[in-house]
Amino acid sequence: MNLIAELRARLGEAAVLDGKDIGGRHVSDMSTTGTAPPLAVVRPRTIEEVSTILKLCHAAGTPVIAQGGMTGLAGGGNPSGNEIVISLELIRGIEEIDTASATMTVRAGTPLEECQTAADDAGLFLALDLGSRGSAQIGGNLSTNAGGIRVIRYGMAREQVLGLEAVLADGTIVSTMNKMLKNNAGYDLKHLFIGSEGTLGIITRAVLRLHPPTGEITTVLCAVSTYEDVVKLLRRAQGELGGVVAFEAMWREYFEFTASALKLSFFAEAHPFWVILESTAKGDAMESFLGECLEDGLLQDALIAQSHAQAREIWSVREGHPIETLPNLLNFDVSLPIARIGDYAVECSAALHARWSASHVSFYGHVGDSNVHICFSVEYGPGEDMHDVDDIVYGVLKDYGGSISAEHGVGTLKRPYLHLSRSPQELALMRCLKQALDPRGILNPGKVI
Ligand SMILES: Cc1cc2nc3c(=O)[nH]c(=O)nc-3n(C[C@H](O)[C@H](O)[C@H](O)COP(=O)(O)OP(=O)(O)OC[C@H]3O[C@@H](n4cnc5c(N)ncnc54)[C@H](O)[C@@H]3O)c2cc1C
């Protein structure tokens, strides 16, 4: 019996899609770089079924790709034509919220937003938050070690995980569904699967750490003159104001492009940098902090959002959807030491403009987490090699000691550049782990390493 027939016999006809039944969403993630449908898409309902699929694929030597919400931006979930996709969408639901331990036990296919709402309803707070919250799944969030807008206060996805369950390439279920904050009994195996983009195992369940609710958050839009002042504002807000839960910077080109496309205007004057500062500090404390920063010349202007709607308007500029209408848009997600981001942006922008004088180059991002995103767009003719953009962005980055992936992962798109951010010794150890956990190389081949 061939593999697809065997999968149907074991899991039922409805669990296996092939041919025309495979929808477009299984072909490409949000990087829109995937082109080939997989051999089949299998939708298991239980963890035991995930194990059965892997056992069969392992025996057949057939590659397997885990797919979550397919909101990834690095091509990590994209098939190349000869794989079995395991779609986690039916491994869904919150199994338990333990208010005494402040934990949530959740299945991998549950959308992030569903988990956030359930935590809220229980009077607790799940600190992971991304723009893709409606579609991205917890399994995808953990396998990419997602970042988002609350990292500055709570850390990345990795920091929200206490326990994990994963299925290995040969179908073995490894369960470390720990609820304790402290557990130093040997290697902490969950970290093998967090951030490994489905190349070392398939995540099926997790125990997430919950926090007390943040309380009311004040949103402020700040105008700043220099990148050095952006960094000073960050450190001063953390030191004097406290309770900083978001610190996002936008360079002038980015802010002006998106604000004008959205027909939003906040101040009469233009400024080189714009910061969204969010804190749990109460109104008076925030007002006196901003007043002192204005007096000292650290701030040029500041607007405290007066309503949830005004805060949403400010965030809509940062989310920057109008940028997506630019032709041939390329988006980069890099990180580097916070003090060096300003100089990197100047050098990177100059290098890109020297090569394509009419291009759009703009910068924005989670600067408080040492993470900056770069938008590049240009009209180009046949024969032009757009890989030169990667070479310039990552080439300059290497000189600054930065990382080619801050939060989106490596997938296929950044794999050729991984050696710029990792030493030969680190790469050798990664290959060693891959060989140990997946000796037949069936898990998401061609991704990450
Ligand atoms: C509008 C928008 C905003 C975004 N904002 C952010 C942001 O602020 N920060 C950020 O970090 N990312 C962001 N992203 C990127 C994306 O949402 C994240 O990478 C997210 O974590 C991917 O989750 P997913 O379920 O969609 O995973 P998918 O795209 O389906 O998969 C991503 C990778 O994980 C693997 N995978 C999926 N599920 C599993 C599993 N159960 N077990 C093992 N491997 C698995 C896949 O094989 C693939 O390699 C954004 C994307 C969009 C479209």
pLDDT at 185: 96
Distance 409 CA to ligand 1 centre (A): 9
pLDDT at 354: 96
pLDDT at 385: 73
What are the φ/ψ torsions at residue 415 (nearest 5 degrees)? -55, -40
Residue 399 tokens, joined: 């000189």
Residue boundaries of the structural domains of the chain: 3-89, 92-209, 218-321, 326-408
Ligand 1 near 136 CB (within 6 A)? yes
Contact 220, 290 (CB under 8 A): yes
pLDDT at 380: 83
Q: How many helices (H) and strands (E) does the chain have?
A: 13, 16
Residue 208 tokens, joined: 């997430």
Atom of ligand 1 nearest to the CA of 448: 49
Distance 193 CA to ligand 1 centre (A): 14
Residue 42 tokens, joined: 């299998």
Ligand 1 near 406 CB (within 6 A)? no
Ligand 1 near 342 CB (within 6 A)? no
CA 165 to chain centre: 21
Spatial strand order in the sheet of 84-87? 16-18, 40-42, 84-87, 64-67
Distance 29 CA to ligand 1 centre (A): 9
Q: What is the mean pLDDT of residues 43-66?
A: 98
329: DSSP letter: -
Atom of ligand 1 nearest to the CA of 406: 11
CA angle 416–422–426, rounded 5-degree value: 115
Which among 143, 331, 335, 366 is the best mutation to test ligand 1's pocket, defined by most ligand atoms within 8 Å of the CB?
143
Q: Which CATH architecture has domain 218-321?
A: 2-Layer Sandwich (3.30)
Ligand 1 near 444 CB (within 6 A)? yes
Residue 416's pLDDT band, with cuts at 50, 70 and 90, is very high
The yes-or-no verdict on residue 1 having pLDDT over 70 is no
Beta bridge partners of 106: 94, 206
Contact 87, 40 (CB under 8 A): no
Which among 31, 53, 73 is the best mutation to test ligand 1's pocket, defined by most ligand atoms within 8 Å of the CB?
73
Distances (CA, A) of 158 to 139, 206, 231: 12, 11, 25
Residue 93 backbone zone (phi > 0: left; psi -120 to 50: alpha; other: beta) = left
Q: What is the mean pLDDT of residues 200-229?
A: 97
Burial class (CB in 10 A: 0-12, 13-18, 19+), 279: buried
Average pLDDT across the chain, whole number: 96
Domains 3-89 and 218-321 share a fold: no
Ligand 1 near 195 CB (within 6 A)? no
Which among 51, 85, 130, 333 is the best mutation to test ligand 1's pocket, defined by most ligand atoms within 8 Å of the CB?
130
pLDDT tens-digit profile of 366-403?
998 999 999 999 998 777 777 889 999 999 999 999 99
Residue type, 92: R
pLDDT tens-digit profile of 152-197?
999 999 999 999 999 999 999 999 999 999 999 999 999 999 999 9
Per DSSP, helices labelled H in 276-368 are: 283-295, 308-319, 341-355
Ligand 1 near 137 CB (within 6 A)? yes
Ligand 1 near 203 CB (within 6 A)? yes
Ligand 1 near 70 CB (within 6 A)? yes
Q: What is the mean pLDDT of residues 270-287?
A: 95
Distance 133 CA to ligand 1 centre (A): 10
Distance 146 CA to ligand 1 centre (A): 7
Per CATH, the number for 3-89 is 3.30.43.10
Q: What is the mean pLDDT of residues 217-242?
A: 97
CATH pick for 92-209 out of 3.40.50.300, 3.30.465.10, 3.40.50.720, 3.40.190.10: 3.30.465.10
CA distance 83 to 331: 27
Ligand 1 near 243 CB (within 6 A)? no
Contact 164, 176 (CB under 8 A): yes
Residue nearest to atom 15 of ligand 1 (CA): 72
- How crowded is residue 118: how many other Cβ atoms within 10 Å of its Cβ? 18
Ligand 1 near 144 CB (within 6 A)? yes
Q: What is the mean pLDDT of residues 318-330?
A: 93
Ligand 1 near 130 CB (within 6 A)? yes
Residue nearest to atom 6 of ligand 1 (CA): 130
Helix (H, G, I), strand (E, B), or coil: what is residue 275? strand
CA distance 430 to 424: 10
Contacts of 57 (CB under 8 A, 6+ apart): 3, 63, 64, 84, 442
Distance 288 CA to ligand 1 centre (A): 40
Q: What is the mean pLDDT of residues 75-98?
A: 97
* Assigned CATH class of 326-408: alpha beta
Residue type, 437: L
